[in-house]
Amino acid sequence: MGLYRARDLVRVPGLLTLMRVPLAAAFPFVLGRPLVALGVLAAAGLSDVLDGWYARRFGQVTPTGTALDPVTDKLFVTTVAVSLVVGGYFSVLDVVLLSAREIGEVPLVAWLAVNRDARSRRAEHPSANLPGKLATALQFGTATAALFQMPHLAWLVLGTAAVGVFAAATYWRREIATMRAAQG
């Protein structure tokens, strides 16, 4: 266990995860049409929820999926963030705040990508992270509010950043506890 396998990419969870790549590529082109952009955001959010649920429900959690899911998440979020800055919906500071969770997770994603044992432990003990899911929902909600130019956007950005920092801390805490349990 812990090996990357190409066949995991064509299982349902892998396909759902990979779906976020073309959605990321499409987002900049639909930015000027808020309802279509909202559809792309919703499809990406749904794929993010379904890939993990399906993998856990049907015993298809794999090291490949464990490493690929956060990479596609970061790709999608980065594409949306850059598009919203270029489109004038957010400032660079807004995006940095909205990316608090991703910034905090980058070292963990890299660690999982290069460490076979860490991937194996994660695949053997899969679990969703409620603060992470909440941070994702708030990011999507804040992006939607920006698309539709809703009021109080600054407060949404700050709230999302706070939840993102908390979510990143819970990811780190879980990984450190898992490593300690494996050593002891």
What band does 66 get if pLDDT is binned at 50, 70 and 90?
Answer: confident
- In degrees and rounded to multiples of 5, residue 2 shows phi and psi of 95, -5
Average pLDDT of the chain is 88
- Domain architecture of the chain: domains with CATH: 6-183 (1.20.120)
Question: Rounded to the nearest 10 degrees, what angle do helices 130-147 and 63-86 cross at?
Answer: 30
Asked if residue 96 has pLDDT above 90, the reply is yes
Judge residue 128's burial from the number of C-beta atoms within 10 Å of its C-beta, 0-12 exposed, 13-18 middle, 19 or more buried.
Answer: exposed
Asked if residue 1 has pLDDT above 60, the reply is no
Q: What is the pLDDT of residues 105-148, one digit of tens each?
A: 888 878 777 777 776 766 666 666 789 889 988 998 999 999 99
What value does the mean pLDDT take over residues 49-55? 90
Cβ 153 vs Cβ 146: under 8 Å: yes
Closest of 124, 112, 119, 108 to residue 172, by C-alpha: 108
What band does 70 get if pLDDT is binned at 50, 70 and 90?
Answer: confident
The predicted structure's pLDDT at residue 134: 92
Q: How many CB atoms lie within 10 A of CB 46?
A: 12
